[in-house]
Amino acid sequence: MGNDAVFRVDGLRKSFGPIEVLGGVSLALHAGEVTVLMGANGAGKS
């Protein structure tokens, strides 16, 4: 699919104090796709 993303994040970073927990995350969601975010309980998916 091209650049027809309905939602896009580029270079997302998250830190708690000096600890970077996400670095450079990019995500593009397109109409009609099914996307799943998986991880252990308590991993911060929400």
Model pLDDT, residue 28: 93
For residue 37, tell me if it sits in a domain: no
Residues forming beta bridges with residue 15, ordered by sequence position: 20
Take residue 2 and report the two structure tokens written for it: 């091209």
Residues forming beta bridges with residue 29, ordered by sequence position: 7
Take residue 44 and report the two structure tokens written for it: 């911060």
Model pLDDT, residue 19: 94
Model pLDDT, residue 12: 93
Model pLDDT, residue 31: 93
Domain encompassing residue 21: 1-31
What letter represents residue 46's amino acid?
A: S
- Mean per-residue pLDDT pooled into runs of 10, the chain (46 residues): 83 93 91 89 78
For residue 41, tell me if it sits in a domain: no
For residue 45, tell me if it sits in a domain: no
For residue 24, tell me if it sits in a domain: yes
What letter represents residue 1's amino acid?
A: M
Q: How many domains does the structure of the chain reveal? A: 1
